[in-house]
Amino acid sequence: PMLTIAACVSSRSPFVLTMPHEREMAHRAKQLLAQKHQSDVVALINAYDGWERVMKRGGGAELGRYCRKHFISSASMKMIRSIKGQLFRFLKDARAVPPSTNSPQDESLNSFSSSITLIKALVAIGAYPNVAF
């Protein structure tokens, strides 16, 4: 999830601007993505992960429904996926991940990916790098 977050903050928001009569529905859709965490970061992670799952199944009409239901832009998600790939390649080139790792989804890199508490802590540390010093 950390590469997804880094890619999201390096791109425009995947959440689309809505017409005034749709704003409440868009807000509820984002809240559902955030689950009980009330976190934009969690909403971004879940929106991207869901979009990626639909893409792997072939995209098409199902992808259109997913994007409309969650008020997200597929074009923005494609840009996020591209940035995420670039970031992963940079990490491989810097030897920050094992050379044998071929994907950011590799299980060995994601052993703590379900820890929302850790993800929030890492985002906070990244946003306020001198907070502990």
> In sequence order, what are the beta bridge partners of 15?
72
User: Which candidate, 16, 46, 24, 22, places its Cα nearest to that of 33?
Assistant: 46
pLDDT in tens, the chain (133 residues): 889 999 998 999 999 988 999 999 999 999 999 999 888 999 999 999 999 999 999 889 999 999 999 999 999 999 999 999 999 999 999 999 988 888 888 888 888 888 888 888 888 888 777 665 5
- Contact residues for 51 (Cβ-Cβ < 8 A; gap 6+): 14, 63, 66, 67, 72, 74, 77
> DSSP per residue over 39-62, as a string?
-HHHHHHHHHHHHHHHHHTT-HHH
Record the tokens describing residue 4, joined without a space: 């997804």
Q: What's the confidence (pLDDT) of residue 47? A: 97
What confidence score (pLDDT) does residue 122 get? 84
5-49-92 Cα angle (round to 5): 55
Note the pLDDT of residue 121: 85
Q: Residue 46's pLDDT is what?
A: 95
